[in-house]
């Protein structure tokens, strides 16, 4: 297969990395995309229930843990995933490099546990991407201007993926999920629920606000501000190009880099 595209961001959530074996499966997806794209950036969440487990661990030590220290602890969940994913790719003979949020230049406000991304300066990633190495970034975390480790709020890895795609001018972000895309109702409660092929940013935002937890709603707003297309698809059926939901506006106003308010 010939490489015809330049840059893509792939996002894998906690459900797609809930066991050690899962890293090998998602490595296959990444290697498939690497045949199509020169630059592949992968954003990954903490394994399964790791974040919940770390929160309860903290509360066993201190019922009211300092927020700065909670961020320090929770950011570890995603670090475990990035290192294991790089190892899974190495086991398949492909070199990949993992980076924390701060190493990747994700600059945030200093609001611990709910920081907003104010800028992305991915200098350290660029040479590796130019060399066509797979770059793996820890979702959900960044560094404030004061140099503190921050987290973006629960589910925040999606927003990391979108912010990096904007900074690196990626063609789109693909979110690999345990569902086939975005549905009118929760497909786990109603098997008849209709799957949307396309949605505008506003429609996707409204669905997220009604409680669907498919994407972090902040990532939809951030993508809209920068006209970045998003695609939600299944990590089991990723080869089926017709299956999935694309979020974009029909009127494309082009890239104008802005981050969160």
The residues of the shown chain that bind Mg ion, judged by CB under 5 A, are 14, 45-46, 51
The SS3 call for residue 11 is strand
Please tell me whether residue 157 binds ligand ASP under the rule CB under 6 A. Answer: yes
Residue 144: C-alpha distances to residues 54, 59, 76, 119, 209 (Å):
22, 24, 17, 10, 27
Q: Does residue 181 belong to the site contacting ligand ASP (CB under 6 A)?
A: no
Contacts of 54 (CB under 8 A, 6+ apart): 46, 73, 74, 76, 77
Work out how close the CB of 173 gets to ligand ASP at its nearest, in angstroms, rounded to a whole number: 13
Judged by CB under 6 A, does residue 154 bind ligand ASP? Answer: yes
Given Mg ion, ligand ASP, none, residue 154, with its beta carbon under 5 to 8 Å by kind, binds ligand ASP
CB nearer to Mg ion: give 14 or 229: 14
Provide the minimum distance between the beta carbon of 17 and Mg ion in the complex, in angstroms, as a whole number. Answer: 9
Number of Cβ within a 10 Å radius of residue 82: 24
Q: What does the H/E/C string look like for 244-257?
A: CEEECCCCCCCCCC
155 binds ligand ASP (CB under 6 A): yes
Which residue, 51 or 248, has its beta carbon nearer to ligand ASP?
A: 51
With H, G, I as helix, E, B as strand and everything else as coil, classify residue 184. Answer: coil
Minimum distance between the CB of residue 12 and ligand ASP, rounded to whole angstroms?
10
The H or E element spanning position 134 is: strand 134-138
User: 112-151: which residues touch ligand ASP (CB under 6 A)?
Assistant: 139-140
Per-residue mark of binding to ligand ASP, 67-106 (x: CB under 6 A): ----------x-----------------------------
**C-alpha count within 13 angstroms, C-beta hemisphere, residue 108:** 30
Stretch in the footprint of ligand ASP (CB under 6 A) among 111-119, 155-163, 190-198, 229-237 = 155-163
């Amino acid at each position: 297969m010939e490489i015809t595209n330049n840059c893509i961001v792939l996002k894998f959530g906690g459900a797609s990395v809930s066991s050690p074996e899962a890293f090998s499966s998602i490595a296959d997806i990444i290697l498939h995309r690497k045949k199509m794209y020169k630059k592949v950036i992968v954003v990954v969440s903490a394994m399964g229930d790791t974040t919940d487990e770390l929160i309860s661990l903290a509360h066993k030590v201190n019922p009211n843990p300092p927020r700065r220290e909670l961020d320090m602890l929770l950011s570890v969940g995603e670090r475990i995933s990035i290192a294991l994913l790089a190892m899974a790719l190495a086991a398949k003979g492909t070199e990949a490099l993992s980076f924390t949020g701060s190493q990747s230049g994700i600059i945030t406000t200093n609001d611990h546990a709910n920081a907003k991304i104010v800028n992305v300066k991915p200098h350290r990633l660029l040479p590796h991407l130019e060399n066509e190495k797979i770059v793996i970034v820890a979702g959900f975390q960044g560094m404030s201007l004061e140099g503190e480790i921050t987290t973006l709020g629960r589910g925040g890895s999606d927003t990391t993926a979108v912010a990096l795609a904007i900074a690196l001018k990626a063609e789109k972000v693909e979110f690999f999920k345990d569902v086939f895309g975005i549905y009118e109702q929760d497909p786990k409660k109603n098997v008849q629920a209709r799957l949307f092929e396309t949605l505008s940013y506003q429609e996707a935002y409204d669905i997220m606000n009604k409680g669907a937890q498919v994407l972090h709603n902040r990532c939809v707003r951030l993508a809209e501000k920068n006209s970045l297309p998003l695609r939600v698809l299944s990590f089991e059926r990723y080869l089926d190009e017709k299956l999935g939901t694309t979020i974009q506006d029909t009127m494309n106003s082009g890239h104008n880099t802005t981050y969160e308010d």
